[in-house]
Amino acid sequence: MSVTANYQSSVPSFKTSILVVGGAYAGLAAVKSFQIHLAERAKNSEYTSWFQSLSQKISITLVEPRAGLLNVLGMPRAIVDPNFAKSQYIQFQELNDLQFDEVISRDQKILQTLNDSKESFELKYVHGTVTYLDDHKAQYMLNNDPDSEKGLIDFDYVVLATGRDRSWPTTPEGYTFDHFMEEMQRAHDNIEKHEIISVIGAGAVGIEIAGDIKNHFPDKTVNLIHPHASFPPEPLSSEFQDAIRDSLKRANINIITNTRIAEEKSNGDLITTTNETIKSELNLWCTSHKNNTSILSSEIRELFVTEKNDIHVNQFLQMAKGERLHPNFFVLGDLVNLPIIKSAGWAMYMGRQAANNITSMIFDHKLIEPFPDLTKMPRGMVIIAGNEEIVSELSGEVTLNHENYVVEYKDYCIGKVRATLGL
């Protein structure tokens, strides 16, 4: 089967068995798990007649604007080190065992090395963005489409894994590898030409950006500004917070707490709510994130989306609230309204779990894997602070430069992520 026979630059409407919206940690974990489950079922003689009865193959469609896996864990360093950034964007054709039977894209460079159609299912990639989603259809558009032409995708099951966005450059567009590298070079050059840089917001991302800027540009003045006395905001110990603060101080980062910014001047200076001026030239805002739920229908948003923009789910990650349930609609990763510290690890776990349950629903008409009991799960977090020091907490134990994390964070966990995904 030739590549060109499977490449489309138009915007077709079509039907798919399973739609996966978002191809980061959770979405790719789901896709990979579907591949494994469907291949195993196809080899099982118990399901031979089931497959033979199908008029069309089971189809999985991934819609993702980036043509690869972006390791967001490495973004704070990527924006100051373009050479390192190259390792944090793995193009889909470079991932192991992820070949698409069909690609829909406006970008002529996004030509996947395609396999012949699998015996049991087919895998399609749409290089674009879903613009509307309800419980049975999605509207989408392709990247780089001057006419903003839209197509419709009808589906039996949907996995929503769109994650959350932050301000640029922490959340780059990254439609292709080249586009991503252009963005990282632009971010680096912008930082390089300013001498006083302020990072507003001392969550995990803000802490790591401040640390990486100071580490790569030690002669620059770096301010880390936070509205509260302590940071980061996650429900972890004061010992963990103190260890991070001490690490930043050792790196000579200016820590400014209990301070809110009212205005950013054209020259970069920041005016606080108490009318004080913080001298600055370049400001990186890390004060908030936005869960990508705006694509949902108004009915779904009204019934299932919280004030914090999370989505209500049940123990099987189906969209549910009280007695209201959409059994074919699964929500993963940063979007779920669950009492967890959102992480890449949890996202990949949820992707595998959702695929396991959907496969069971298709073949055996039942759900088989609930979410684990969170009361028995240890809380933990790892942050790269000042001087590339690694501060971690797991089950209440705070460690500086834990030997396992030192190894994992040499590549900012991209190796571990790929191993976990099986890609």
pLDDT digits (tens, 9 = 90+) for 309-333: 999 999 999 999 999 999 999 999 9
Give the list of residues 6+ apart from residue 166 with CB closer than 8 angstroms, or none: 205, 286, 288, 289, 290
Does 189 reside within a domain?
A: no
Is 8's pLDDT higher than 70? Answer: no
Q: Are 207 and 244 in contact (CB under 8 A)?
A: yes
In a domain, 343, yes or no: yes
Nearest residue to 180 via CA among 86, 94, 110: 86
| 57 plus 89 within the same structural domain | yes
Mean pLDDT of the 172-184 span: 97
Residue carrying structure tokens 């292709």: 176
The band of 3, judged by pLDDT with boundaries at 50, 70 and 90, is: very low
The pTM for the full model equals 0.94
Measured from the Cβ of residue 22, the count of other Cβ atoms closer than 10 Å reads: 28
Region of 311 please: left (phi>0), alpha (psi -120 to 50) or beta.
Answer: beta
Same domain, 407 and 263: yes
Average pLDDT over the chain, rounded to whole? 94
Structural domain containing residue 403: 195-287+379-421
3-state secondary structure of 58: strand
Whether pLDDT at 197 is above 60: yes
Q: What pLDDT was estimated at residue 1?
A: 28
Residue-level pLDDT at 5: 38
Same domain? For 65 and 117 the reply is: yes
Judged by average pLDDT, the poorest of 31-35, 96-100, 135-139, 309-313 is 96-100
Task: Taking the CA atoms of 236, 242, 248 and 250 in sequence, report the sign of the dihedral they define.
Answer: negative
The answer to whether residue 7 scores a pLDDT higher than 90 is: no
pLDDT exceeds 90 at position 293: yes
User: Which tokens is 370 given?
Assistant: 């609930």
Is there a single domain that holds both residue 202 and residue 272?
A: yes
Share of the chain above pLDDT 70, in %: 96
Are residues 21 and 159 in contact, defined by beta-carbon separation less than 8 angstroms?
yes
pLDDT, mean of residues 7-24 = 91
> What is the number of structural domains in the chain?
2
Q: What are 238-263's pLDDT values in tens digits?
A: 999 999 999 999 999 999 999 999 99
User: For the segment 118-133, what is each residue's pLDDT rounded down to a tens digit?
Assistant: 667 899 999 999 999 9
In a domain? residue 183: no
Phi, psi angle pair for 60, to nearest 5°: -115, 130
pLDDT > 80? residue 109: no
231 and 334, same domain (yes or no): no
Q: Are residues 371 and 390 in the same domain?
A: no
Q: Quick one: pLDDT at residue 170?
A: 92
Tell me what pLDDT residue 2 has: 32
Q: Is residue 87 part of a domain?
A: yes
Q: In this structure, is the dihedral angle defined by the CA atoms of residues 103, 107, 110 and 111, taken in order, positive or negative? A: positive
Q: Decide if pLDDT at 116 tops 70.
A: no
Confidence of residue 6 (pLDDT cuts 50, 70, 90): low
CA-CA distance, 125 to 23, in Å (whole number)? 10
Are 42 and 112 within one domain?
A: yes
Count how many residues are written for the chain. 423
Query: Given this model, what pLDDT does residue 54 score?
Result: 86
Is the same domain home to 208 and 336?
A: no
Alpha carbon of residue 337 to chain centroid: 16
What pLDDT is stored for residue 97 in this prediction? 87
Residue 385 pLDDT: 98
What pLDDT shows up at residue 147?
Answer: 76
**Whole-number pLDDT of residue 232:** 96
Q: What is the pLDDT of residue 377?
A: 87
The runs of H, that is alpha helices, within 44-111 are: 48-52, 75-78, 82-85
pLDDT of amino acid 306? 97
| Residue 136 forms part of a structural domain | yes
If asked whether residues 61 and 115 sit together in one domain, one would say yes
- Examine residue 177 and state whether it is found in any structural domain, yes or no: no
Beta bridge mates, 290:
165
User: Residue 289's pLDDT is what?
Assistant: 81
C-alpha span between 98 and 131 (Å, rounded): 25
Return the structure tokens found at 188: 């680096």
CATH of the domain at 391: 3.50.50.60
Give burial (CB, 10 Å; 0-12/13-18/19+) of 133: buried
The span from the CA of 214 to the CA of 197, in Å, is 9
Task: Note whether 161 and 317 are within 8 A (CB).
Answer: no
Whole-number Å distance between alpha carbons of 167 and 200: 12
- In single-letter form, the type of residue at position 317 comes to L
Query: What confidence category does residue 380 fall into, taking pLDDT thresholds of 50, 70 and 90?
Result: very high
Rounded (10°) angle between helices 238-250 and 204-216: 20
Structural contact between residues 22 and 118, judged by C-beta atoms closer than 8 angstroms: no
In which residue are the tokens 């489950």 written? 37
- Same domain as 145, residue 43: yes
pLDDT, average across residues 178-189:
98
Residue of 59, 296, 61, 286 whose CA lies nearest to 162: 296
Tell whether 225 and 310 lie within a shared domain.
no
| Domain presence at residue 50 | yes
Q: Are residues 51 and 128 in the same domain?
A: yes
pLDDT for the residue numbered 111:
55
**Upstream peptide bond of 232 is cis (omega within 30 degrees of 0):** yes
d(CA 91, CA 88): 10
Owner of token pair 């073949």: 363
Residue 411 inside a domain? The answer is yes
> pLDDT band at 4, cuts 50/70/90?
very low
Token look-up 């012949």 returns 116
The separation between CA 229 and the C-alpha centre of its own chain, rounded to angstroms, equals 29
